[in-house]
Structure 1
Amino acid sequence: MQPMTPQAFVRAFVAFLLGVVVGTIGTVVHRAVTPWGVVAAIGLVLATAVTMRAWAGWPAFVGVAGGVFLAVMVLTQTGPGGDVLVPSGDNVNDVWLGGVWLGGSMGALVLAALAPRRWFSDAPRSAPVPPSSVVPPDQP
């Protein structure tokens, strides 16, 4: 577990701001080119979450996840003029893309959280044992 130093708080805050930017870009772009816009937006969320976890560990990951979640949930709401970025009306194609974006962005965050710790470790791996040094059991 990493100690919560002032530097860790700053990194978590920077990651939060980056998460807000990524969530905003993904929400705006996910309907741009069907279906590649939503695929690119989910890929952006996954790449950002993995990068933040590798850069500064769990505090930064929590920051980026909170930023993405906040941006996506706020931009899902109906705007003051009635505009909607993630529609849920009668058009099946728009509802499908919106559902994939909402579920996919949260799924990408879960995938980044469940990635093995050893992927993000700077510790050197132990050398594998060469096969010739293994002594076979005595054969009767």
Structure 2
Amino acid sequence: MDTPPARALARWAGMFLVGVLVGIVGTSVHRLARPWGLLLALALVLLGGVVGRAWAGAVAVLAVGLGVVTATGVLGVQGPGGDVLIAADGVGYVWYAGALVVAGAYLLPRSWFRESPPSRSPHT
């Protein structure tokens, strides 16, 4: 099995960091003004997945998703003072499941991410 080139690994690592950043920002705003903060956070997750797919391919969508899951998992545990950033209620559960929204970027048509323009038929 061939190993991916260093450039691809660097892009995937970069998209993981983008996912972590998206998870941190999303956790910060998901309770802002219900339901708009949550919708904004979920849209940010989807946007991160789309950027990852456009820049580094389908594997980058997984990297973004892992970054979001990592950030929400770390920020969702109880802190030393007993405080939590993600409450155990409906909004919190939707935000935890929000990492699955990144899969929407994977389900988008491949042709949207093509680097070359589509070929034109000679009859048009």
Q: TM-score range by the shorter chain?
A: 0.7 to 0.9
Aligned to 1:35: 35
Contact 2:52–2:60 (CA under 8 A) maintained in structure 1: yes
What TM-score do the two structures reach when normalised by structure 1? 0.78
1:8-19 pair list within 5 angstroms: 8-19=8-19
Point out the more displaced range, 74-83 or 21-30. Answer: 74-83
Q: 1:97 aligns with which of 76, 83, 91?
A: 91
Shift of 1:129: 7.5
Point out the more displaced range, 34-43 or 76-85. Answer: 76-85
> Letter of the aligned partner of 1:40 in structure 2?
L
Q: Give the Cα–Cα distance (whole angstroms) in 2 for the partners of residues 59 and 98 of structure 1.
A: 27
Contact 1:8–1:59 (CA under 8 A) maintained in structure 2: no
Contact 1:42–1:108 (CA under 8 A) maintained in structure 2: yes
Pair 1:113 & 2:97 matched:
no
Q: Deviations over 1:96-126 (max 9, x none)?
A: 21122122x2231111111121111123223
Q: Give the Cα–Cα distance (whole angstroms) in 2 for the partners of residues 107 and 10 of structure 1.
A: 23
Q: Give the Cα–Cα distance (whole angstroms) in 2 for the partners of residues 67 and 54 of structure 1.
A: 17
Contact 2:12–2:59 (CA under 8 A) maintained in structure 1: yes
Q: What stretches of structure 2 of length at least 5 have no aligned partner?
A: none
Q: What stretches of structure 1 of length at least 5 have no aligned partner?
A: 89-94, 132-140
Aligned to 2:119: 126
Contact 1:77–1:84 (CA under 8 A) maintained in structure 2: yes
Q: Give the Cα–Cα distance (whole angstroms) in 1 for the partners of residues 32 and 71 of structure 2.
A: 18
Point out the more displaced range, 74-83 or 31-40. Answer: 74-83
Over the residues paired in the alignment, what is the CA RMSD in angstroms?
1.8
Aligned to 1:67: 67
Q: Deviations over 1:69-96 (max 9, x none)?
A: 11112212111211111111xxxxxx12
